[in-house]
């Protein structure tokens, strides 16, 4: 599933006639009808409105790549080497 993030707060009309307010950074499926109708209000960059307690360079500079996160557990069917002492 592709995910996009709201660039700012959104007030979105719902099919039943009500409207819902979503906060900045709220994630949406990229194929959501509202996203498809208003692509300028969304970004695929997960750093939009990222909360943090210690700034890292890549948090604020979009030209820097987001570092890969190491997976702690093996994926299904993946063998991991185990060293025991």
pLDDT tens for each residue of 23-57:
998 999 999 999 999 999 999 887 777 766 776 66
pLDDT score at 30: 95
Would you say 41 and 6 are in contact if contact means Cβ atoms under 8 Å apart? yes
Listed by start position, the domains of the chain span 3-60
Cα separation of 67 and 2, whole Å? 19
Would you say 69 and 58 are in contact if contact means Cβ atoms under 8 Å apart? no
pLDDT score at 79: 78
Would you say 45 and 62 are in contact if contact means Cβ atoms under 8 Å apart? yes
Cα separation of 12 and 14, whole Å? 6
- What lies within 8 Å, CB to CB, of 38 at 6+ separation is none
**pTM for this model (two decimals):** 0.60
């Amino acid at each position: 599933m592709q995910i996009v993030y709201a660039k700012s707060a959104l007030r979105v009309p719902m099919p039943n006639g009500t409207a819902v307010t979503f906060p900045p950074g709220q994630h949406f499926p990229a194929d959501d009808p509202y996203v498809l109708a208003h692509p300028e209000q969304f970004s695929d960059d997960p750093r939009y409105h990222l909360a943090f307690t210690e700034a890292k360079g890549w948090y604020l500079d979009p030209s820097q790549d987001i570092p890969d996160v190491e997976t702690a557990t093996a994926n299904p069917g993946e063998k991991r080497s185990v060293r025991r002492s």
